[in-house]
Amino acid sequence: MTERTLYIVVSVDIDEDGFDKNLFTGTHGVTWKGVDEGVPKILQSLKGYRDSSGEQIKYTWFVRCDKQLENLYGDPAYLFKRFQVIWKESKTRGDEIAWHFHAYDHEPSIINNEKQLVKDLKECFLSSKSDSLNISASRVGRAFCSNGIMEALDEVGLKVDSTALPGRERKDGLNSLDWEITPELPFFPSLNDYRIPGNEHVDLLEVPMSMIETMVPYDSRPIKRYANLTFKNSVIGRSLCKYIRENDLLVTIMHPSELISQREHPLLSFNVNEVRKNLDTIQLECERIGKSIKFITITEVLSLLKYGLINLARG
């Protein structure tokens, strides 16, 4: 019997601080304390974790580069440059540096102008390009997407995108998203509908974030949310185990500022010890069911497909 493996992507979205008002002391109220303090906390606190081959966690860092940053700092690639030492050291460790594009500006109306969004996206990608970082993957902020955006991501030469939240739909202005009919497995998005695979598709591989069932006091029913490692283990531990039993690819997410805030929340722990509890839960469940563990980056999912190690959703 062939041993099954759980392939784990540990992705981190490099966004601005967004939880404690006292953090907002920078340009126009935007600060990056999460990167200054949260990223080192992640690296230091989780450095002892090893997969079944003895390898440390490989991180995929989705770094913001978009028009909002250009308006704030005069350069959409501000974060690539300000924290370039972090990204270069990460590449040396075997991590992946990816692109995080937020498809909005200060004017909410831009979210409804696909032509302008595509133009902005292409311009910002050129700003983010670096031979030393070799950016091959993207994630659009707030899980926003459209046919035009998906095609543009493909056209600029990216190999992988990880924006999809399978099963989730929400329509409320800037927070709108629609992945209700999206499969949980990786797929090549249809030219006619970015949410699903199709016979005519882009060459870019969509690797959805893993969705696990959660329920907190303000939920009227259980809701599937992305597998955020900063969520409280008491809320997601059981769902994580169920997901691991049923799947071989786990795409997780974190935000650095989720580890520096000091507040109470029914879902977010704001505590790196909860991240460790969730990783411990994953490892223990894999041991219990006889699965090995392999840490990978988001673009390495392409290799898994090439060698038939995970399944592909087809139209």
Structural domains in the chain plus CATH codes? 5-306 (3.20.20.370)
Average pLDDT of the segment spanning 256-283: 94
Average pLDDT of the segment spanning 188-216: 97
Q: What is the pLDDT of residues 85-102, one digit of tens each?
A: 999 999 999 999 999 999
Q: What is the pLDDT of residue 1?
A: 47
Q: What is the pLDDT of residue 24?
A: 42
Q: What is the pLDDT of residue 173?
A: 61
d(C-alpha 61, C-alpha 91), whole Å: 10
Q: What is the pLDDT of residue 106?
A: 47
User: pLDDT: is 183 or 26 the higher one?
Assistant: 183
Q: Is 161 helix (H, G, I), strand (E, B) or coil?
A: strand
Q: Which amino acid appears at position 156 of this protein?
A: V
Q: What is the pLDDT of residue 175?
A: 65
Residue among 103, 164, 102, 97 at smallest CA distance from 132: 97
Tokens 């209700």 correspond to 180
Average pLDDT of the segment spanning 262-279: 94
d(C-alpha 29, C-alpha 187), whole Å: 38
Q: What is the pLDDT of residues 119-169, one digit of tens each?
A: 999 999 999 988 788 999 999 998 999 999 999 999 999 999 999 999 999
List, in sequence order, the alpha helices (H) in 57-113.
67-73, 78-82, 84-93
Average pLDDT of the segment spanning 17-39: 73
Average pLDDT of the segment spanning 64-72: 92
Triad 203, 207, 209: Cα angle to 5°: 155
Q: Which of 51-60, 172-181, 203-212 shows the lowest mean pLDDT across its residues? A: 172-181
Quick one: pLDDT band at residue 21, thresholds 50, 70, 90?
very low
DSSP 15-37: ----S-GGG--SGGG---HIIII
Res 258 pLDDT > 70: yes
Q: Which of 48-57, 114-123, 155-164 shows the lowest mean pLDDT across its residues? A: 114-123
| φ/ψ (deg, to 5) at 18 | -145, 20
Q: What is the pLDDT of residue 110?
A: 56
pTM over 0.75: yes
